[in-house]
Structure 1
Amino acid sequence: MSFPDNKLTVRSPADLVAAVPYLLGFRPDDGSIVVIASRDRRIVFAARGDLPAPGAPARQALEVAANLVTVLRRQQPITDLMIVGYGAGHIDPALLSVSEALTGSGMPVLELLRVTGTRVFNPTCVNPDCCPPQGTPFDPTASLIAVQATAAGQVALPNRAAVAARFAPVDGAARDGMSRATTAAVTRLTALCAAGAAAADEAGALAVRDALRKHDDSKRITDDEVAWLTVLLRRPSVRDLAVDLTQPHDPHVTFWADITRRAEEALVPAPATLLAITAWRCGDGALAGMAADRALQADPEYQLARLLRQALHAGLPPSAFEQAADTDRANPSDK
């Protein structure tokens, strides 16, 4: 079974477990369930969710399964599924419930595994010859999958917290510098707006192009440039231009992560949404979802981030963004 880009081949349960962090971009925390969908032996989709807490009512596992069914049906056609749970044996009942519900919905489960530390268990296998009760040991760092994935440029961060750290707010002297720069940028924009909206939009277009060009040339964006860009991105026309000019590659993910980190809290929604869109287009759904959540943390009513989050929850492909963007642009009064 191969990865979506055919760079890696999964030949065993140990390979599958080693591949999961590279499919998601991070190693799932305990209590997670990962469902991997394949079509004609090619992995086409992977989704992570939270399992119910130990002792939770059985219906909660069925609710997890129902949500997964809704998402997975949008990925049709799917030939089979693989499920990997993370945690100790107490999660087995929930894993089995989800697996049975998915199978009952017409989605055959090819593999059901549980990972505890560096051991793999098969909750459905009782043959000690192939499924020892103490689990099968594996070394995620030394596996061929890990070596090949790393060589192919794929990254697996240690956990979700490490993903969030990529765009966590700067603090200390860096925050103080951005606060001063943003105050000056607001004053500058106020004066510019006195000349009319067209002048502000023109300045915004220039700021976006200059910032992206400078980053592409491996030059650091100054605090004044970041501040000026973030105050201008509050204008929907400037933000939409940034969406159009941003390319779906890792350097632009890094760019918008840096802008999000340095933006003042009130100005976070636009760059965080741009980070989410860029990550989504690059196939990094985990980073996209967390960046969209960051935008909504700063402003729960930020419309484009809400539309994006809905699309991500529904398991829609990045191409669906165009419809979301068109809806947002058709309502210029929305944020």
Structure 2
Amino acid sequence: MPFPDNKLTVRSPADLVAAVPYLLGFRPGNGSIVVIASRDHRIVFAARGDLPAPGAPARQLLDLAAHLVPIVRRQQPITDLMITGYGDADHVDPALRAVAEAFTAGGMTVRELLRVTGTRVVNLTCDNPTCCPPQGIPFDPTASLIAVQATAAGLVALPDRAAVAARFAPVTGAARDDMRRAIDGAATRLKTVNAAGGAAVDEAGAQAVRHALRHHDTRLTDDEVAWLTLLLTRTSVRDLAVDLTQPHDQHVTFWADVTRRAHEPLVPAPATLLAITAWRCGDGALAALAAERALQVDPAYQLADLLLQALHAGLPPSTFDQATTSARTDPSTQ
């Protein structure tokens, strides 16, 4: 995940560990590895992965390193890396050293290897017991200055990835039943518009998208969500929504709400719009989970698939936007 504007001041390994949840958007659990790239003492990128389970074949760890190294190298120029692993020493320490060796072999400098076990941070690259005791140093992420800075900057660290996904989890019960009834009415309305031709549908879609985004701070009615999500199944309408959606938190919240309330078959478009908006805002975790949600409903949904590939490759949103814009304006791709 790239960071165009750093808002946290990291002065020590404990600060770095306290900052990681705010950089990712959630607190990594045991078995996680986080690679942080910096450029002239400024954090510019963070990538998280899952370590192979204890006792897994060594090939799996090599595959993880082979996946991470090109992603981080793509962020050049970078000056050094800090790698943090979460869990017990027997599991994490060998894995950290193996991944660090892969980065070093790739021509990158690993400045620090840190292990987080419970509420202690162990520095594997410092053998001075005065500043880096073998048992680690205690830290309380919630009481650190980093937590204060992050809160003041409007950054949030959710408990885990499940909490991130809960932001757009589908509605249930009466709310779901109400949306199904709204969809029936919107489908009847769309038949009438379809009879007037594609241009009429595009115009209706443009009006719905502009109205919704203009009033993003007011929760849409069920009828408005049903109408909007039906129209978003038309590629031209969805692409207009991509262009008009702005990279700010209010539009993230808006598309999360629309995704939650969308009728299941209509989820891919709003979920992909949520993913794109979150990515543009620097929230890679939310972006990836939203894209995965779109593909869960429709594995062939191309825009979500392309976006997820770009996220996994560590590309910046600007590259993705340029590529999709070029594809839309190239007559050979129409």
Query: Which TM bucket (shorter chain)?
Result: over 0.9
Q: CA deviation at 1:127?
A: 4.2
Distance between the aligned counterparts of 1:133 and 1:108, measured in 2?
23
* Aligned 1:56-205 pairs, distance under 5 A: 56-89=56-89, 90-205=91-206
Distance between the aligned counterparts of 1:197 and 1:138, measured in 2?
60
Look up the match of 1:257: 256
SS in 2 for 1:53: coil
2:112–2:125 Cα contact (<8 Å) kept:
no
Q: Is 1:15–2:15 an aligned residue pair?
A: yes
Q: CA deviation at 1:182?
A: 0.9
Aligned length: 331
Q: CA deviation at 1:125?
A: 4.1
More off after superposition, 113-122 vs 260-269: 113-122
More off after superposition, 57-66 vs 240-249: 57-66
1:273–1:305 Cα contact (<8 Å) kept:
yes
Look up the match of 2:294: 295
**1:39-84 CA distance string (max 9 Å, x none):** 1111110010111110112222121111111101110011100001
Structure 2 portions without partners, runs of 5+: none
**1:124-176 CA distance string (max 9 Å, x none):** 44443333333211010010011011011111111111100001101011101
1:307–1:324 Cα contact (<8 Å) kept:
no
**1:80-118 CA distance string (max 9 Å, x none):** 000011111122111111011111211110010011221
Which amino acid letter does the alignment assign opposite residue 199 of structure 1?
A
Q: CA deviation at 1:29?
A: 1.4
More off after superposition, 238-247 vs 182-191: 182-191
SS in 2 for 1:82: strand
What's the C-alpha RMSD, in Å, of the aligned pairs? 1.8
Q: CA deviation at 1:4?
A: 4.9
Distance between the aligned counterparts of 2:54 and 2:125, measured in 1?
19
SS in 2 for 1:141: helix
Q: CA deviation at 1:192?
A: 1.3
SS in 1 for 2:320: helix
Q: CA deviation at 1:293?
A: 0.6
Which amino acid letter does the alignment assign opposite residue 253 of structure 2?
T
**1:227-285 CA distance string (max 9 Å, x none):** 00000000001001101110000000000000000001100000000001001111111
Residues 192 and 201 from structure 1, CA distance in 2 versus in 1: closer, same or farther, beyond 3 angstroms? same
Which amino acid letter does the alignment assign opposite residue 34 of structure 1?
V
Residues 290 and 69 from structure 1, CA distance in 2 versus in 1: closer, same or farther, beyond 3 angstroms? same
**1:185-230 CA distance string (max 9 Å, x none):** 1121122101111111111101111111122xx3220000000000
1:4–1:42 Cα contact (<8 Å) kept:
no
Q: CA deviation at 1:332?
A: 9.7
Residues 135 and 213 from structure 1, CA distance in 2 versus in 1: closer, same or farther, beyond 3 angstroms? same
SS in 2 for 1:153: coil
Which amino acid letter does the alignment assign opposite residue 245 of structure 2?
T
TM-score normalized by the length of structure 2: 0.95
Identity %: 78
Look up the match of 1:314: 313
Look up the match of 2:27: 27
SS in 1 for 2:200: helix
Q: CA deviation at 1:291?
A: 0.7
More off after superposition, 115-124 vs 137-146: 115-124
1:273–1:292 Cα contact (<8 Å) kept:
yes
1:308–1:324 Cα contact (<8 Å) kept:
no
Residues 150 and 243 from structure 1, CA distance in 2 versus in 1: closer, same or farther, beyond 3 angstroms? same
SS in 2 for 1:30: coil
1:182–1:224 Cα contact (<8 Å) kept:
yes
Residues 318 and 224 from structure 1, CA distance in 2 versus in 1: closer, same or farther, beyond 3 angstroms? same
More off after superposition, 3-12 vs 308-317: 3-12
Which amino acid letter does the alignment assign opposite residue 152 of structure 2?
A
